[in-house]
A = this chain, B = another copy of it.
Amino acid sequence: MSGPAPDPLRGASCLVLGAGGFIGGHLCGELRRRGASVHGFGRRRSYPEALEGVRWTMGEFADRAALARAVDGAEHVFHLLGGTTPESSNKDPVADLQAGAVASLHLLDICRAAGVRKVVFLSSGGTVYGIPRSVPIHEDAPTDPISAYGVSKLAVEKYLHLYRHLHGLDYAVLRVANPFGPWQDPDRRQGVVPALMQAVLDGRPPEIWGDGRVVRDYLYAADAAEAIAEAAAYAGPHRVFNVGSGVGRSVLDLLRDVGAALGRGTDLTATHKPGRATDVPVNVLDTSLVRREMGWAPRTGWAEALQATAAWLRGRTAR
């Protein structure tokens, strides 16, 4: 007469590096809901309301002493620190490699010295594969990024594999598709969803890079956070997972649906800017592994997710 197994995250000590960011806020909330003790570390805390009940330490990723103090005592370390974007990374690949891979290597040394149980790394499903030979993209597909951002994400994945082999440090890599939702800053070029929405709310023509036929896999951030949290609890044999909706939508599709979500009709017209060299023409992830292994699936419908994002942006604009 045993009941359901207790949640392994209940009472677990979780450190979220990059907690002050967009995904970090959603992840902290999800970990709190699962009963974990959550400590956030990062450069800034743009939306303190996202971090309710979370112990907070402000610090730089490059500050190894501060990082070591934060890691001390953590069972699970969620590595969401980045700092660059695919577009900015190509202007200075060396800086991107230093900020991404070198800093991550220092983190792994700290984690193994501290006896961390598992490192969960937020990789990038949108960049590590580069231009796919076919979609949806399976985890075993070739990885040939067309941004330095993707190369350094990939290098961190490889170092995680190496540290497990050499030092027994367990890990999970989540190659997350294009996330969107509340707390994604529309002004920081982080994502196309809030950028389009904010333009419409401001009465500006939305801007699109290229012809708008670029296809992406958009995932609501709260759903992404569920997968990231679950990866810490997961005890199976796999370590690298795609996390996405599995649905491809063009930017033009997105614009139509954004118009509908904002009640502005489905025929918004956009200003087209030149395409970017870092944009792969299509990216849709095969998510069968994470669905099968973790029992995870996105729970938020597309329209509902857009509505929630729009509501947050409206509230933010109104402040």
Contact = CB atoms under 8 A, between A and B. Distances in A.
B155 A151 contact: yes
B90 A97 contact: no
Contacts of A105: 93-94, 97
A27 interface: no
A106 interface: yes
A140 B144 CA distance: 11
Contacts of A146: 161-162, 165-166
Number of copies: 2
Nearest to A277: B166
Contacts of A154: 155, 158
A304 to B, nearest CB: 37
Given A97-B102, A97-B105, A105-B93, A159 B151 contact: yes
Residue among A105, A140, A161, A162 with the highest chain B CB neighbour number at 10 A: A162
Interface in A191-237: none
B102 A98 contact: yes
Contacts of A130: 161, 165
A94 B110 CA distance: 13
A interface, over-half SS: helix
Nearest to A140: B142
Nearest to A90: B166
Residue among A98, A146, A158, A277 with the highest chain B CB neighbour number at 10 A: A158
Interface string A84-121: 00000010011001100110011000000000000000
Nearest to A157: B144
Contacts of A165: 130, 146, 277
Interface in A124-169: 130, 140, 142-148, 150-151, 154-155, 158-159, 161-162, 165-166
Contact of A159 (B140, B148, B161, B162): B148
A86 to B, nearest CB: 11
Contacts of A159: 93, 148, 151
A162 B140 contact: no
A144 B147 CA distance: 20
Interface of A: 90, 93-94, 97-98, 101-102, 105-106, 130, 140, 142-148, 150-151, 154-155, 158-159, 161-162, 165-166, 277
